[in-house]
Amino acid sequence: MIRALARRWKNWKQPSLMRRLLLAQMGVVALLWTMAIALLLYDSYEDPEMLKFDKIFNTVIAIVKNTADRPDKQQETIAAFDAALMEAAGDGDGSADSSSVLQVWQSGRLIYRSTAAAPVILNTGLNRIETVKAGGREWRARTLASPEGDVRVMLAEPSVWRLTVTVVSRGYYLLPLVISLPFLVFPAWLSVRLALRPWRRVSQETAERGPADLTPLSYMPPHKELQPLVQSINSLLQRVRDSTSRERSLIADAAHELRTPLAAMRVNVEALKEQSTDERQRELMGNLLRSNDRAARLVGQLLQLMRSDAVSDSALPVMLSLDGLVQDRLAMIESLASARGVELELECEDSVPVLGERESLVSMIDNLINNAIKYSPPGGTVVVDVSRDGSQALLTVADQGPGIPHTLRERVFDRFFRNPDQSQSGSGLGLAIVKSVVDRHGGEVRLGETASGGLLATVRLPLAVAEAPQPLLCS
């Protein structure tokens, strides 16, 4: 429970564009509502509707004149009219801080006011709306007198600040927001999600790319906000592709150039070793020859790696017999296995065709078997198996060596990476070549463990269909 809450809190804390857009939309709605209320309050203050109607003032004047001889009836009638007026204006609570105020004078004497809490408000002139200060606050007031001048009626509304307090305190401002915003969240979320579909499509295509796929993104959105992003990604991929191509060319050229001096060095050292009778010198030259072999093997692996990376799709659709290739390579490697005291065993089904490029597949097979021989102990056995598994060709190579720890079985496919605990010398390119070839052929390679603790390498490649246009090439 605690972990689930912690994960939710972590997800909530993580910045989110979706959340920012939703909050922005809610903020815009709140801002527009605030501006509408502010405009309404300002308009009500600058141009009070109730103060503009002359009939209100004339009605009060008529009531005063018609009931002048009956003071009690006069007060009751004016109060009833005032209550109806306040109710029509929405000031039913009668508070002097927020309600309109009606005051009536007759013969210079104040005979009625809406509430005793309201101060006496006097205009400087008649028949005009003006701002009057009374009781420590501002009022918008208008006074109108009868033709004879014996009756004056004053109607006032509180200042805009008092109107604002009234609107907020009564919930006229917050209540619509509280009610409407929750119902706007889902439409806002849906609209943002629909609007972000092109963004998610670009993200999905980018996420599905493998590390070796540097081709431009196929999806080019028409939206002007996304076009610069996709163009920048494609430009970056192009620069990386160019840089990788230059790097590959440089490594291939350097490897080609190194082969000649290494071969010449080997010939000269072998000649000197044959002519020398000093055992110490012959031992040193033998060490030099072994170092030369390691350097030549590294150069050869670099060339294989560059060749496997440079294989074009047009070179792949050639039908090959995987079982024939494996048999041929085992015959070529038999002498190396015998020299190390390792026995090779082959378990092979007939006719396991695959579509591929011969040189790359030969390089893959050689590296798998050579690695197995290299790490197997003297007297050990390397078992190679070629079979069908549904629609796939299955190649497994099992040795009796120390194996590879589970935590390193993915990293050993990286170029130049080697198990730190491994005592055998090597370049760290063999399995990288295998991985590159298998990926190019649309297959899969996995490393496991045999019953004796050795390494089990499993390669799966798509079987060639019988209708493939290329003829079957057997070794």
Q: What secondary structure does DSSP assign to 36-77, as a single string?
A: HHHHHHHHHHHS-HHHH-HHHHHHHHHHHHHTTT-HHHHHHH
Q: Which residues make Cβ contacts (< 8 Å) with residue 188, sequence separation at least 6?
A: 21, 22, 25, 26
CATH level 2 (architecture), domain 313-462: 2-Layer Sandwich (3.30)
Retrieve residue 305's tokens.
């790696």
Q: Does pTM surpass 0.75?
A: no
User: What's the full length of the chain, in residues?
Assistant: 475
Would you state the pLDDT for residue 46? Answer: 63
Would you state the pLDDT for residue 27? Answer: 83
**What are the residue ranges in the chain where pLDDT is below 70?**
1, 9-14, 16, 41-49, 89-98, 159-173, 211-212, 253, 256, 304-305, 307-317, 420-427, 466-475
Residue with tokens 């815009």: 28
For residue 111, the SS3 value is strand
Would you state the pLDDT for residue 469? Answer: 46
Domains in the chain: boundaries: 2-44+172-194, 47-158, 313-462
Would you state the pLDDT for residue 97? Answer: 55
**Within 10 Å of residue 470's Cβ, how many Cβ atoms?**
12
**Within 10 Å of residue 1's Cβ, how many Cβ atoms?**
5
End-to-end CA distance of the chain: 63
pLDDT tens column, 150-208: 899 999 887 655 555 555 555 666 777 777 777 777 888 888 888 888 888 888 888 88
Give the DSSP H/E element, type plus range, for residue 181.
helix 174-195
Percent of the chain exceeding pLDDT 90 equals 13
Give the DSSP H/E element, type plus range, for residue 367.
helix 358-375
CB 110, CB 120: distance < 8 Å: yes
Would you state the pLDDT for residue 166? Answer: 53
pLDDT tens column, 364-373: 898 899 888 8
Q: How many CA atoms lie within 13 A of 376 on its CB side?
A: 28
Q: Is 138 exposed, middle or buried (0-12, 13-18, 19+ CB in 10 A)?
A: middle
Please give the order of strands across the beta sheet that includes 137-145: 109-113, 101-106, 151-158, 137-145, 130-134
Would you state the pLDDT for residue 89? Answer: 67
